[in-house]
Amino acid sequence: MNPLKPDQVRVVLVETMGEANFGAVARSMACFGVTDWWLVRPRRKPNQESLNWATHAGEWLESIHYVETLQEALVGIDLAVALTGQAGKRRHRLVTPAGLVEEAIPRFQLGRLALVFGNEESGLNNDDIAICHWRVKIPTDPEHFSLNLAHAVTVMLYELLGRYSETDLGSKPTILAEPKLLQGALGEISRYLSEHGYPSHDATLDEEMRKVNDMLHRSRLEVFEVNFLLGIIRHLRNFERKASAAGASDLK
């Protein structure tokens, strides 16, 4: 079950520098249904480049709240989470995104959560990190630990919202074979094996079929899979029938 809903999440960007990142973040937020975001002392403002990167999420750029301090951006927030790529003073007790979901969210009383991201060059300063309740580090390669801002936003929104959301995978619903169908398939397999003298080793057909029965039931076969197996047997029967008829014709 999804622990959070999109309307519980706020994205806060502090001193953001790149116009393209505004658009990329807007697009990511739109993909996960998050609409609430705040800019703290932005170095730039959204422009045409931002709109180009936003693609179909241009309206998100029109709903931004602008403030001068992180405290203002956290008004109405119950749990503030700082994103940082480094350990150090006031950066201890780091957790991964998965750790946040496992450790912090279960204690979270269904309030509002803010994800706080620093600027593209230096991230969040210690004062801003100290304001937040939790600190999260996204696991990356030690030599290339700094994610693009929009990528970091996407990772966090996926971890909090996307991972638990239902989605259309374009596949047909699973329909498991009922016992009656399995028993019919077992009977057909048994007849075919018996017609071909199986088993030839020291065992009875009943003993061998009990093994097949166990395998079929453990496998939780779907209806189409059972029909697929029966189709193979039908094909083999037809092939043998045609081969037998051809052989008889050659003898005439």
Q: Is the pLDDT of residue 251 over 70?
A: no
Strands of 113-117's sheet, edge to edge?
Answer: 65-67, 36-40, 9-14, 113-117, 79-83, 134-136, 94-95
Q: Which domains does the chain have, with CATH numbers?
A: 6-164 (3.40.1280.10), 179-251 (1.10.8)
Say if residue 106 is preceded by a cis peptide, omega within 30 of 0: no
Spatial distance between the Cα atoms of 181 and 230, rounded to a whole number of angstroms: 11
Q: Give me the mean pLDDT over the 24-31 stretch.
A: 95
pLDDT number for residue 97: 93
The average confidence (pLDDT) of the chain is 89
Stretch 107-118: mean pLDDT: 88
Query: 222 forms bridges with which residues in the sheet?
Result: 176
Does pLDDT of 226 surpass 60? yes
**Cβ-Cβ contacts under 8 Å for 236 (sequence gap 6 or more):** 192
Angle in degrees, CA 63, 73, 81, rounded to 5: 110
Whether 174 shows a pLDDT value over 90: the answer reads no
Could you tell me what percent of the chain has a pLDDT over 70? 94
Is it the case that residue 90 has pLDDT exceeding 70? Answer: no
| Backbone phi, psi, residue 65, to 5° | -100, 130
